[in-house]
Each structure stands twice: as structure tokens, then as C-alpha cells.
Structure 1
């Protein structure tokens, strides 16, 4: 049980860090769009809302008590929300026609730098995907702990002892 609480604490901390990074990068893109013109406002606002809920919930559930393992349906929902956000962000860069090819997406083949737009966008995509994975791992850990603890207190386990 100590290992599961330690792992839960580590993954909740990673979820919080990813959510804060996503909030910062997403806010930067929203600011940039207000300054420079049109962009994927709806996709970024969705990402910001999901990251806000994730930051709040991961901070609350960072406390390593057994009751924090009971929220695995919300872990699954947030994981799916982050994967949907990743898909929306990934799809926009190709629909827009911005060519982010080359080494790590920083340089276009024509030699122009897009003012680090591609690198920042791909960083936002990466942290969105990693956050979804961390929430999914937390869900699996919570399911494992929840069913293991529930199995100990079942009537079959009590009569067998």
C-alpha cells in the first residue's frame, strides 16, 4: 500500500506540473492570437479549461490518502479529455497549412523560422499527450488499489480467514 501511495503522489505531481505547463503555453498562444490575428481559439480554450480542471483536481488529490483512489472514473474522463485536446491541437496545425517540418518542427524546408511557433506548438501538444498518459496511469493504479482493498474486505475473504 505504501508503494501505491508513493506512485499516486508521483503521478499526481506530474499531472499538476503538466497542467501548469499547458496553462502557460496555451495562455501564451491565446495572447499571441489576440495580438497577431486569427487562430485556433476554440481548441486552445478547450485545452485551457481541461488543464484548469486537471491542475485543481491533481492538487486536491495530491494528498496520499486511500479516498484519493476512489476517483478513478474522473481520472479516465480527464485522460480522454486530454487525448481529445491533443487530437484537436495536432489536427489544427495541418489544417492551417503551416508547415512545421524539419528538425523538431523549428525550421521549414524553405529556411524560414516561424518565430518558434512550431516548437512551442509541438511542446504544447507533447505536454497534452503526456498529461493524458499520466491521468490514464493514475486511473489504472486507482483501479488496482480500489479492487485490491475491496477484495480484502469482501465476505469471502473474511470467512476464509
Structure 2
């Protein structure tokens, strides 16, 4: 029977430290700050617009504010993690990007139709953003699945 190696005090402290890399923490702070700043900016613009606004303008302001708050929540959530994420953060970020791209494309296309400007350019531009966001979702989910398979190989335990 082999004896379990003893951990030094420094090893114990290192294991208790947050596991997020500096790069991940910087990304989390950037998402949090960008989201909060964007939400404040959009809310201020929305609040200070003169006169009654059309419904589609209210919808656009509301959607952009919600997207900013989603990024702020994502950044805050990521900063509070002290466990390995196995690319869950990348999956969440990719889905936020995909939903934002789809909703923005839909709103811009509806506004273009209402103005009689045609749907070609808004649909094409939005389609590019949606395609990139969808590719990021697929890549993030594949990366997460690969990391979880590797963890299972190494530890024999499943991760949800």
C-alpha cells in the first residue's frame, strides 16, 4: 500500500487559491465593466431621449440594455468562480453572443422592412454575425465536451 504524499503549507495555500487564470480574470473584468458601462450608457440614452419614442425604439433600447446586463452578469459570475469551469464560461459567452446576434438581426431587419429599405443588407450583415456566433457556440461546446472527456479519462468521474 502506498502512502499519500504530504502537502506542504504552500501547496495547501495554492490549492485554496482561485483557479482562474490571469487571462480569464482579465476577460471577466472586461465583460463586467463593458456590460455595466454599456447598460448605463443605453439606459441614459433611453431616459434622455426627447419626446415620445416609437415602440420599435423602446424595443431596441430594451434589447441592447438587456444584452449589456447579460454581459455584466456573465463577468460577475465568472469572477466569483473558484472551481475549474471546463469551458463552461466559453459556452455561456458564445450563447450570449448568438442570442444577441439573432435578436439584433431580427430587430434591424424589421426596422428596415418598416422603412421600406429592403432586407438584403441588414439580413446579409446580420447573417455574418449570426454565422460567426453559431460557429463560436459549436466550438465552445466541442471544447467543453473534449475537456470533460479528458477529465473522465484521468479521474474516472463524470462532470455535468
TM-score computed with the length of structure 1 as normaliser: 0.51
Partner in structure 2 of residue 154 of structure 1: 153
1:36 to 39, 47, 51: 51
Partner in structure 2 of residue 48 of structure 1: 65
Query: How many Å separate the matches in 2 of 1:87 and 1:66?
Result: 34
Query: How much does 1:152 deviate?
Result: 4.5
1:16 to 25, 29, 32: 32
2:35 is the alignment partner of 1:25: no
TM-score computed with the length of structure 2 as normaliser: 0.51
Unaligned runs of 5+ residues in structure 1 are 97-128
Query: How much does 1:5 deviate?
Result: 2.4
Identify the structure with bigger relative contact order (alpha carbons < 8 Å, sequence gap 6+): 1
Query: How much does 1:68 deviate?
Result: 7.0
Query: How many Å separate the matches in 1 of 2:145 and 2:20?
Result: 11
Could you list the structure 1 runs, at least 4 aligned residues long, displaced by more than 6 angstroms after superposition.
88-91
Residues 20, 84 of structure 2: 8 Å contact kept = no
Partner in structure 2 of residue 6 of structure 1: 22
Partner in structure 1 of residue 98 of structure 2: 80
Query: How many residue pairs are counted as aligned between the two chains?
Result: 118
- Asked which structure has the greater CA Rg, the reply is 2
RMSD: 4.0
2:77 is the alignment partner of 1:60: yes
Query: How much does 1:75 deviate?
Result: 2.0
Query: How much does 1:146 deviate?
Result: 6.0
